[in-house]
Amino acid sequence: MTQLPQEIETFYIIPAIRKELILSLVKLGLTQREAGKRLGITEGAASHYVKQRRGCELKFNRTMKEEIKRSANRILKKEDSMKEINRLVGLCRANRIVCKVHQKHGASKDCRLCFKE
């Protein structure tokens, strides 16, 4: 059975975004614990992202990685991480990244369920 687009976001997109955000926040000087706290996840979950045990199935392109870095800088300056993650998920929708992952996991090539062109 094909997953709903929202399930694709939950199981693949959001974990990949969190992984990239954690890595960016750690590069910006936060500890894993601090980065996890900013994202509302446990230190253990943050560790899984840093050690590439979670959120690794999806590789973002350079443009998306730059957007994630922008979000990490905003989160570092105390911007709401949920707002930033939601913004990034919206970019994944707009750039049809959700559709590409959806097709990889069973949606037909002509599926227009996620977004109409």
Per residue in 26-69, pLDDT (tens digit) is 999 999 999 999 999 999 999 999 998 999 889 999 999 999 99
How far are the Cα atoms of 18, 107, 114 from residue 86, in angstroms, in the given order? Answer: 11, 23, 16
Kindly state whether residue 26 falls inside one of the protein's structural domains: yes
Cα 38 to its chain centre, rounded Å, is 15
Print the domain residue range for 16.
5-104
Please give the average per-residue pLDDT across 98-103, as a whole number.
85
Distance (Å, whole) CA 117 – CA 111: 11
Is there a domain that residue 116 lies in? no
Average pLDDT along the chain: 90
Instruction: Print burial letters for 21-39: b (CB count within 10 Å at least 16), e (below 16).
Output: bbbbbbeeebebeebbebb
CB-CB neighbours of 82 under 10 Å: 11
Q: Is there a domain that residue 111 lies in?
A: no
Q: How confident is the model at residue 117 (pLDDT cuts 50, 70, 90)?
A: very low
| In-domain check, residue 114 | no
pTM higher than 0.85: yes
